[in-house]
């Protein structure tokens, strides 16, 4: 995708130095500063994942794969790789892609002689990244059919509400929830995106708005609580979100606040405004071992400072953080919630659009 009219991925290897490194777009600096960070060790990759320099389920998986590749610079022994895998898996517990990517890396490496593992690790991580791009392009193609159908029916701009950031910044490239939107925009279909700010880290306001602006897609940032009102007023034609994990039954675990958007969309039917609710996910995000997301998915509890402090640009251009809570206030900061399958219209995948009840057919 485009940054100042130049094509980028969110993560890539660099072999031009004496020791290989992994370069990432540091998403904690956006939208005010575009900065590429170079990571040379497993420890640095774990910090990048924990602090959300890289974030989004597919990108976390790709980052973890490159984390294993970086760990081979220290040792390719079985025990070292297994310990590296355990550290990566523990870095963020909710997104299933991370564990999937780490297990895939171990499966590819442990069967090889030690002398072949380092080169194989870099190759396998690159393959995971390339496959992610292909999956997201396919998601965009299938989601485009949904937007095109709405456009043909209504013959006007299609208003799409999204939550958090599930664009190319959350993946290696193209995105999940935003992939159909980019495809529609590129096809000449008039779309407009309602971007929920997504407290407390403001990924919608900071990241989604930034990347939509870079690509020229019309959008409007709204407060998190405005989505239901817009649906009541008939100003939302569909909701498309990403996910950090989808269960075999079609429950969708995504950024906190997604459940409220789904409830509002579901209730819109009673008001005469049918607003379908879709989650766009590549197949590695589907956890076939879990049925009930509410009971079975571990919800990450993040640091209280994410809620009590806000970062922004001052009038003199300085980036600063300010405390917005009274001293001593207790804070709870769950990072995700689970939308039950009964509220989900469809899951947009690289293989097509499935209702939650049809999702298991993907395993065949």
**Active site residue ranges:** 244
Contact criterion met (CB below 8 Å) for 3 and 214: yes
Distance, in Å, from the CA atom of 54 to the CA atom of 25, rounded to the nearest integer, reads 7
Query: Between the CA of residue 193 and those of 220, 227, 234, what are the distances in Å?
Result: 6, 12, 14
HEC secondary structure over 249-284:
CCCEEEECCHHHHHHHHHHHHHHCCCCCEEEECCHH
Q: Which amino acids are annotated as binding site for substrate, given as ranges?
A: 55-57, 92, 203, 254-255
Distance, in Å, from the CA atom of 364 to the CA atom of 362, rounded to the nearest integer, reads 5
- Strands 219-222 and 286-287, sheet pairing: unpaired
CB contact set of 233 (below 8 Å; sequence gap of 6+): none
Q: Which amino acids are annotated as binding site, given as ranges?
A: 55-57, 92, 203, 254-255
Rounded (10°) CA dihedral 118, 128, 247, 28: 90
């Amino acid at each position: 995708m485009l940054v100042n009219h130049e094509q980028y991925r969110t993560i890539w290897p660099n072999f031009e130095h004496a020791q290989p490194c992994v370069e990432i777009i540091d998403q904690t600096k956006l939208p005010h500063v575009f900065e590429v960070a170079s990571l040379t060790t497993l420890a640095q990759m774990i910090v990048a994942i924990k602090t959300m320099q890289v974030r989004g389920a597919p990108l976390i998986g790709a980052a973890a794969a490159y984390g294993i590749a970086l760990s081979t610079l220290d040792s390719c022994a079985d025990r070292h790789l297994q310990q590296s895998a355990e550290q990566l898996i523990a870095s963020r517990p909710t997104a299933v892609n991370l564990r999937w990517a780490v297990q895939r890396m171990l499966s590819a490496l442990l069967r090889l002689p030690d002398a072949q593992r380092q080169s194989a690790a870099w190759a396998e991580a690159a393959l995971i990244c390339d496959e992610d791009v292909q999956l997201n392009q396919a998601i965009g193609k299938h989601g485009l059919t949904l937007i095109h159908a709405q456009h043909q029916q209504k013959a006007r701009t299609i208003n799409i509400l999204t939550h958090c950031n599930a664009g190319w910044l959350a993946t290696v490239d193209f995105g999940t929830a935003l992939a159909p939107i980019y495809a529609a925009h590129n096809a000449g279909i008039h779309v407009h995106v309602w971007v929920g700010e997504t407290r407390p880290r403001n990924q919608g306001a900071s990241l989604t708005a930034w990347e939509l602006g870079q690509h020229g897609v019309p959008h409007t940032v709204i407060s998190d609580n405005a989505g239901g009102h817009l649906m009541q007023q008939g100003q939302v034609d569909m909701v498309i979100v990403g996910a950090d994990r989808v269960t075999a039954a079609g429950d969708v675990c995504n950024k906190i606040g997604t459940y409220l958007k789904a409830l509002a969309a579901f209730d819109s039917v009673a008001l005469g405004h049918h607003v379908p609710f879709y989650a766009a996910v590549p197949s590695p995000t589907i956890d076939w071992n879990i049925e009930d997301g509410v009971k079975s998915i571990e919800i990450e509890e993040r640091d209280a400072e994410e809620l009590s402090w806000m970062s922004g640009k001052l009038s003199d251009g300085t980036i600063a953080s300010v405390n917005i809570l009274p001293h001593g206030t207790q804070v709870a900061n769950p990072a995700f919630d689970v939308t039950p399958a009964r509220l989900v219209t469809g899951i947009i995948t690289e293989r097509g659009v499935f209702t939650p009840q049809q999702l298991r057919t993907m395993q065949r």
